[in-house]
Amino acid sequence: MPPRDRSVIRLPSYEQVKSDPVLYAHASRVLHLETNPGNARALVQAHGEGATARDVWINPPPIPLTTAEMDYVFDLPYARSPHPAYADENGSHDHGTKIPAWEMIRFSINIMRGCFGGCTFCSITEHEGRIIQSRSEESIIKEIEDIRDKVKGFTGTISDLGGPTANMYRLGCKTPEIEAACRKPSCVYPGICQNLTTNHDPLIKIYRRGRALKGVKKILIGSGMRYDLAIKSPEYVKELVTHHVGGYLKIAPEHTESGPLTKMMKPGIGNYDKFKQMFDKFTLEAGKKQFLIPYFIAAHPGTSDADMMNLAIWLKKHGFRADQVQTFYPSPMASATAMYHSGRNPLRKIHRTVESDDENVDVVRGEKRRRLHKAFLRYHDPNNWPLLREALKAMGRADLIGNGKHHLIPTYQPVTGGCYESARKKNSTFLTIPSMVTEKTKPAAAARTPSAAKPRPGTVLTQHTGLPPRETGAKRVPGKPVRKGR
């Protein structure tokens, strides 16, 4: 075999992958196997025929930036503000010219690039690489000071120290030779690789030094937490929970069942249970009221109706009523997109004729089935009960329909008129089509219209009913009382 720098892999042509889902899945598998800059080969794909035919050449991933190179990039004199063309006549980005995406990252700091998680519904590896590229501690501290001293509106709270994940800073393979030769798509699936370092001490040091800076009141962690890595460092979890959680912490188990989790390349729900035990323990020791917010995906390839039913049972058992839910949507370059399009599993070798059960993937298609999977995530919404009753009866699980605490949905059906009232006002839906408003729904709908609706005393407007407002560092209006969580 020729050396890597003299070899190339020819993918099926564009016309072939366009017309043949099996070749599409094969091409996706090859692409994702060539993501390690230490051993990836160039890829070539033919486009067009005849006189217009040409080859598209894809270079191997670049060698990751060193810490010094990362510091050079991040230490450049950035404006730390949106382009003046988007400002008002006073040069401000507040009020009518406020940019929500900018507000989200205004006081956040990116401490690293890359991700070795390999989640199939994500394409961060293809964008930023699978090898973590970290900034130095000095560079990060300098940026905190720059935000403190130069960014208008800073009130003392850093909204995030993170990146694609919150806690992969300085993590990587123990041996450069093994790292250069590895062709695994993930370092943490099906379990954490024995060659992966899980030492969170450098990150703990940055947290402590950052919050000790004069003028910095609090540093929050807003990036997604890899809890399977975090539980390897109880000291890190204690540091995080004690000092860097603003009311609630978001993590993403994505599902509870092995069927979809194996297609996502995500850890089992047991890791979530271990992290929650540690989270609750350190929260109690800190004398705080803090909550975990788990995120889940409906209709991901590999998810059966029974999987979603079991997830709904888990949600009810643990008291979660999700307002914001995510239904899988195929996105460019993700392995899950290849599953959705082809019905094949690119995590396994692709054959023209299926040779084993794990090569096929149950794909959730059609509006009714996708609505059903989303309805299971929002089992508490009365608008979903008719669909869920029909599905549960068809699945032979009518025992979950009833008015007891152990039932998933009740037998009765309230008049909702298609409206849904959420604990978070902006997530509520209101019926506004006159022809669809009945006499029974008029008073309720009118009372809840956004223009007339006022929060009831004690109402907590957060993602899950009963959670306290998250501390974001936003400047409070003088004289306005601070609402306290129940």
Q: Would you say 296 and 311 are in contact if contact means Cβ atoms under 8 Å apart?
A: yes
126-136 confidence digits (pLDDT tens): 899 999 999 99
Q: Which two tokens stand for residue 405?
A: 């605490």
235-278 confidence digits (pLDDT tens): 999 999 999 998 989 899 999 999 999 999 999 999 999 999 99
- The secondary structure of 44-110 as a DSSP string is EEEES-GGG-EEEEEPPPPPPPPHHHHHHHHTS----S--GGGS-TTS--SGGG--HHHHHHTTEEE
Q: Where are the alpha helices (DSSP H) in 151-268?
A: 176-181, 201-211, 227-230, 234-243, 258-264
Give the mean pLDDT of 312-323.
92
Please report which confidence band the pLDDT of residue 4 belongs to, taking 50, 70 and 90 as the band edges: confident
Element (DSSP H or E) covering residue 312: helix 305-317
Q: Would you say 209 and 138 are in contact if contact means Cβ atoms under 8 Å apart?
A: no
Q: Tell me whether strands 42-47 and 54-58 are parallel, antiparallel or unpaired.
A: antiparallel
Domains of the chain: 64-244 (3.30.750.210), 250-328+364-486 (no CATH)
Amino acid at 53: A
Start-to-end C-alpha separation, the chain: 67
285-302 confidence digits (pLDDT tens): 999 999 998 999 999 999
Q: Is the pLDDT of residue 457 over 80?
A: no
Half-sphere exposure of 116 (CA within 13 A, CB side): 32
- The secondary structure of 345-409 as a DSSP string is -TTS---SS--SGGGB-----SHHHHHHHHHHHTTT-GGGHHHHHHHHHHTT-GGGBSSSTT-SB
Please report which confidence band the pLDDT of residue 430 belongs to, taking 50, 70 and 90 as the band edges: low
